[in-house]
Amino acid sequence: MSKTFDPRKFLADNLVVVIFLVVTAFAVPVSGLSAQFIIQELFTRIGRNAFLVFSLLLPIMAGMGINFGMVLGAMAGEIGLIIAVDWGILGVNGLAFASLVGMPIAVFLGWIAGEVLNRAKGREMVTGYILGFFMDGVYQLVVLYMMGYIIPIRSPAITLSRGYGIRNTLGLDSVRQSLDNLLAVRIGPYVLPLATYMVIGLLCVFIIWFRRTKLGQDMRAIGQDQGVSHSAGISVERTRIIAIMISTVLAMIGQIIFLQNMGNMATYNAHKQTGFFAAAALLVGGASVSKATIPNVFIGVVLLHLMYIVMPRAGAQLFGEAQIGEFFRDALSYAAIAMALVIYAWRKRANAERARAGLRGGEAAAGGVK
């Protein structure tokens, strides 16, 4: 955006991306995986993960940072899927039904999350994270103790032997990859899940459109300055809640898309890492805590997952131990989040100081004593 290209500024702005590129560029040949395999995997993983990552965009726009509370949406999606599987609804119908069931749950959870985050202004991210933990407890209470007890579950096949509570692993045979296969297109050696891509494309269109709405404009405004927005008559708290609600609903749909591709669901664990992977992907894609764009999502998903594909093999080739590669990619992803947060916080302070630097020195420093 700056008129002259400044390599140092570019590096500082894209440090996380550059590090990831370098590491992956090194690891891809070491892994010895074929290009075809890697590319096919990437096509699959873009379809699987991109939607979830998109759910983080709006809260960032509204200045609330990364919505780690998106796992609430993931939980809503899982509950939807449990119901859809229990009722034996097959294929895309099952996915759509799961979304319809998950929607009110996600809206409700999103509203709660928004209210909670409004009470924790300035530390939304850590609060959202803990809220995810807390709601995980509630989720367990519902799924492990209430389903089949208070909430009727018809199918004994998905309940635990004690008669209530959902099994540890839920087979999603009835909906497995139904969206991916709805319109699977073969191009050369690759199979593309076109229907999934179309859903993601639709979401992109929605986000672009949403940015141009009044609500989108209000979100941008409160994201930059809550005080000014409030005095201009924008209802800050309400807008923040709406941002979180939309994010939660999108995460709900994203989790359903994710799980239909996986084909089974670790009932009590599937959502635990959702926030982490989405956040890591977005930040690796060059987004910051205050600014994220659609390209960031795609770059991030590709880069992060490229690393996740090649790293275990690279570790095995280099150290004779695939585990090293696995630990390494986890470490790098966590570090990417930490680094992105640090760069953001550090730059925020640096900018504030630079903004005031103009006032310093006065005329005395300039030697302008009259």
Partner 1 sequence: MSKLDPKAARRWAIRAVLAAVYLALAVILFVTGKGHTILVDNKADPAGAYPALKAAVVSIGRQKPMEFYPGDRDKFVVKGQRHRIRVKPLAPGAQEREVEFRLPLGQDMTLLSISKLMAGAEPWIEVFVAPTVQQMAAERAADDLANPLETFGNTGP
Partner 2 sequence: MNRLKQAVTDFGWPRIIIFLFVVALFIGAPFVKVRVDSSFTDVFNRFGQNAVLVLALVPMVQAGCGLNFGLPVGIIAGLLGSTLAMEFGLVGWAGFLGAIGLSLPFAVAFGFAYGLLLNKVKGEEMTIAMYVGFSIVTFFAILWLLLPYSSPNMVWGYAGKGLRTTITLEGYWGLILNDFLALRIGENFRFPTGMILFVILLTVLVGFFFRSKTGTAMTAVGSNPDFARAGGVSADRMRLTSVILSTVIGAVGILVYQQSFGFIQIYNAPLFMAFPAVAALLIGGASVNKASMLNVIVGTFLFQSILTMTPSVINSILQTDMSEVIRILISNGMILYALTRKTKVTK
Partner 3 sequence: MSNESPLLSFEGITKDFYGTVVLKDVSFTLGRGRILGLVGENGAGKTTLMSVLFGMPVISETGGFSGTVKLDGQAVSFRTPFDALDAGIGMVHQEFSLIPGFTTTENIVLNRESVKPNPAVEVFGERMSVLDRPKMRARAESAIGRLGVKLDPDMLVSEMPVGHKQFTEIAREINRDNVRLLVLDEPTAVLTESEAEVLLAALRNLAAQGISIIFISHRLHEVLSVCDRIVTLRDGRVVKDTDAAGVTVADVASWMVGRDVDDAGRKGAARDLPGAALEVENLWVDMPGETVRNVSFSVREGEIFGIGGLAGQGKLGIPNGIMGLYPAGGTVRLHGQAVTLDAPRAALDAGMAFVSEDRRGVGLLLDESLDWNIAFTAMQIKGEYLKTYLGGLVRLRDEKAMKALTEEYVKLLDIKCTGPKQKAKELSGGNQQKICLAKAFALRPSVLFVSEPTRGIDVGAKALVLDNLRHYNRDFGTTIVMASSELEELRSICDRVAIVDEGRIAGILPPGAPLSEFGLLMAGQKVSEEVQP
Nearest residue (CB) to partner 3, 71 versus 241:
241
User: Which residues, other chains included, contact 91 with Cβ-Cβ below 8 Å and sequence gap of 6+?
Assistant: 174, 175, 178
Task: Tell which one of 18, 107, 130, 294 touches partner 2 (CB under 8 A).
Answer: 130
Give the gyration radius of the chain's Cα atoms: 23
Q: Is 318 exposed, middle or buried (0-12, 13-18, 19+ CB in 10 A)?
A: middle
Which has the closest alpha carbon to 46: 312, 309, 299, 301? 301
The DSSP element (H or E) to which 141 belongs, if any, is none
Q: What distance in Å separates the CA atoms of residue 246 and residue 237, rounded to the nearest whole number?
A: 14
What SS3 state is found at 184?
A: strand
Which positions from 341 through 360 interact with partner 3, judged by CB under 8 A? Answer: 356, 359-360
Least distance CB 238 / partner 3 (angstroms): 10
Q: What distance in Å separates the CA atoms of residue 248 and residue 242, rounded to the nearest whole number?
A: 10
Nearest residue (CB) to partner 3, 188 versus 233:
233
Site string for partner 3, 200-229 (x = CB under 8 A): ---------x--xxxx-xx-xx--xx-xxx
Nearest residue (CB) to partner 3, 63 versus 165:
63
Which positions from 41 through 100 interact with partner 2, judged by CB under 8 A? Answer: 65
- Contact between 18 and 286 (Cβ < 8 Å): no
The 8-class DSSP code of residue 368 comes to -
CA angle 217, 300, 190 (to 5 degrees): 120
270 makes contact, choosing from partner 1, partner 3, partner 2, none, with CB < 5 to 8 Å by partner type, with partner 1
- Residue 286's region, left for phi above 0, alpha for psi from -120 to 50, else beta, is left
Range in contact with partner 2 (rule: CB under 8 A) among 86-94, 179-187, 220-228, 318-326? 318-326
Range in contact with partner 1 (rule: CB under 8 A) among 190-198, 207-215, 228-236, 267-275? 267-275
Task: Tell which one of 272, 290, 339, 344 touches partner 1 (CB under 8 A).
Answer: 272
Positions in the binding site for partner 3 (CB under 8 A)? 209, 212-215, 217-218, 220-221, 224-225, 227-229, 231-234, 356, 359-365, 368-369
Positions in the binding site for partner 2 (CB under 8 A)? 65, 116, 119-120, 122-123, 125-127, 129-131, 133-134, 136-138, 140-141, 144-145, 162, 319, 321, 323-324, 327-328, 330-331, 334-335, 337-338, 341-342, 344-346, 349
